[in-house]
Every structure is written in structure tokens, then in C-alpha cells.
């Protein structure tokens, strides 16, 4: 689709809202710079190993809490044992603004305090199979931001990883929020359209996706 054609915000399913072009190019570049720094450490970006021996094609780095199949921890025992970078206050604010934009509910936005983000980098061959985000102990919405190459994003149903599903395109700067009745929808990335990114986003190739979540966990070492 032409960059000159505005793409309207749509509710893909109840509680699943797509807001195209939400991030300005400058905000995208700032996020790319932050992600580059997190990718370098303290826990470097890597392909996650799956319990049955496979390796994900997507490369991931986490902040706030470290995700590995299928739990969150403060330290990355499956990578280098280091504690992940803290979740910055500015990203909490960004998550709140995203929620307000998607749902128009100020109270829900004010009460939203994401404490982890999974930052996924997709090269042209990377894919993400249909799955549910269910390792969090909170039903709070997931806020997703996309930068770089456009992808096909599959929004399914809460019962099975198969049809019915809706395929949408997530392009650079797009916001996607899934909560409420869609919090546990199966979703995935079947295709990345290589070379579709505008370099003004800060990425020359590939796709970056940031999903902010509320883990619902407390760190025993931080308990008062």
C-alpha cells in the first residue's frame, strides 16, 4: 500500500486494535537506538532455544524480566546468567499512551504499568508460529510496536492455532494492542516482506517488534 494512503485504525477483533503509523519516524529511530543498546547486553540478543531442541528463527532480547520458554526470571539463566536491563520509566509512559490511543480509556491507561518487553528482531527468513502469550500472571493488555520491514501478522482465535484467523499487515510505526476478549488470541508472524522499510525508521533491513507486557510477578529480592 502506498505510504501516501492513510490506513485507518481498526478493531480487528474485540479488544484487538491496530493503529497504523502511530510512531513518528523520530520515535522509531529513538526506539531502534534503545533496542540496539539492549541487544548488546547485559544479556545479548540471541535465538531462543526451545525445550524440545529447536531454535527460534526470531532473535530476542528482553528488558525488565527475561522470558524463556515458558517463564519469566530476572536473570537470563539460559544465556549468560546476567540480570536483564531495567524496564525504563519512559517506556511505561509510552505503553500508557499506546493503551489510551487504542482504547480511549484514560483510567485503564493510567493503571497500565508494563514491567517487561520482548524485543524481537526478524530477518527476511524469520517467522513466528501461532502461539498465545500466556506466561504472564496478569490479564493486562499486550502493547506491540513494529519498526522496519512490513510483516503479515495473523490474529487468530482463543481456542485453536488454526482458522478462523485474520491476516493484517504491520508496517513500521504501527501499534497493535490486544487485551480484553483478545488477550489470549493465538497470533503469529507468517511472513516478513524484505526490503519494505523506509530507512528513515532507523533500520536498514529486517523487522523489530517490541511487545510490552505486565508479568504480574514480584521479585522476592525487591519485596519490602
The item of ligand SIN, Mn ion, none sharing an interface with residue 45, based on CB under 5 to 8 Å by kind, is none
Task: Find the radius of gyration of the CA atoms of the chain.
Answer: 16
What are the φ and ψ backbone dihedral angles of 132, each rounded to 5 degrees? Answer: -110, 150
Comparing CA positions, the residue from 169, 193, 181 lying closest to residue 10 is: 169
Position 118 contacts ligand SIN (CB under 6 A): yes
**Nearest distance in Å: CB 128, ligand SIN:** 6
Evaluate whether 144 touches 173 at the Cβ level (below 8 Å): no
Position 133 contacts Mn ion (CB under 5 A): yes
Would you say 23 or 81 has its CB closer to ligand SIN?
23
Q: 104 burial class (0-12, 13-18, 19+ CB within 10 angstroms)? A: exposed
Q: In sequence order, what E strands does 86-165 have?
A: 116-122, 128-131, 142-148, 151-155
The item of Mn ion, ligand SIN, none sharing an interface with residue 48, based on CB under 5 to 8 Å by kind, is none
Position 43 contacts ligand SIN (CB under 6 A): no
Position 135 contacts Mn ion (CB under 5 A): no
Evaluate whether 103 touches 19 at the Cβ level (below 8 Å): no
The number of helix segments (H) and strand segments (E) in the chain equals: 3, 14
The item of Mn ion, ligand SIN, none sharing an interface with residue 118, based on CB under 5 to 8 Å by kind, is ligand SIN
In angstroms, the CA 190 to CA 127 distance is 5
Would you say 112 or 146 has its CB closer to ligand SIN?
146
| 64 torsion bin: left (phi>0), alpha (psi -120 to 50), beta (else) | left
Of all residues in the shown chain, the one whose CB is closest to ligand SIN is: 209
User: Which one of 209, 214, 215, 217 is in contact with ligand SIN (CB under 6 A)?
Assistant: 209
Position 187 contacts ligand SIN (CB under 6 A): yes
What are the φ and ψ backbone dihedral angles of 99, each rounded to 5 degrees? Answer: -65, -40
For residue 67, give the C-alpha cell: 522470558
* Continuous H helices in 5-115: 25-40, 89-103, 106-110
Would you say 81 or 137 has its CB closer to ligand SIN?
137
User: Which one of 116, 144, 182, 215 is in contact with ligand SIN (CB under 6 A)?
Assistant: 144
Number of residues counted as binding Mn ion (CB under 5 A): 1
Position 120 contacts ligand SIN (CB under 6 A): yes
Position 66 contacts ligand SIN (CB under 6 A): no
**Nearest distance in Å: CB 8, ligand SIN:** 20
Position 116 contacts ligand SIN (CB under 6 A): no
Residues in contact with ligand SIN by the rule CB under 6 A? 118, 120, 128, 144, 153, 170, 187, 189, 209, 211
Amino acid at each position: 500500500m502506498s505510504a501516501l494512503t492513510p490506513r485507518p485504525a481498526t478493531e480487528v477483533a474485540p479488544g484487538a486494535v491496530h493503529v497504523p503509523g502511530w510512531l513518528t519516524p523520530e520515535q522509531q529511530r529513538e526506539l531502534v537506538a534503545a533496542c540496539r543498546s539492549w541487544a548488546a547486553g547485559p544479556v545479548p540478543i540471541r535465538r531462543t532455544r526451545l525445550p524440545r531442541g529447536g531454535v527460534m528463527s526470531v532473535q530476542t532480547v528482553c528488558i525488565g524480566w527475561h522470558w524463556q520458554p515458558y517463564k519469566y526470571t530476572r536473570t537470563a539463566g539460559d544465556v549468560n546468567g546476567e540480570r536483564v536491563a531495567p524496564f525504563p520509566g519512559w517506556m511505561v509512559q509510552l505503553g500508557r499512551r499506546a493503551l489510551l490511543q487504542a482504547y480511549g480509556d484514560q483510567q485503564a491507561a493510567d493503571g497500565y504499568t508494563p514491567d517487561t518487553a520482548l524485543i524481537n528482531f526478524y530477518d527476511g527468513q524469520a517467522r513466528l508460529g501461532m502461539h498465545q502469550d500466556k506466561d504472564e500472571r496478569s490479564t493486562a493488555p499486550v502493547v506491540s510496536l513494529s519498526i522496519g520491514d512490513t510483516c503479515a501478522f495473523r490474529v487468530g482465535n482463543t481456542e485453536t492455532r488454526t482458522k478462523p484467523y485474520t491476516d493484517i499487515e504491520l508496517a513500521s510505526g504501527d501499534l497493535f494492542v490486544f487485551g480484553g476478549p483478545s488477550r489470549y488470541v493465538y497470533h503469529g508472524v507468517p511472513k516478513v516482506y524484505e526490503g519494505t522499510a523506509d530507512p528513515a525508521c532507523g533500520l536498514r533491513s529486517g523487522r523489530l517488534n517490541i511487545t510490552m507486557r505486565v508479568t504480574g510477578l514480584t521479585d522476592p529480592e525487591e519485596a519490602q
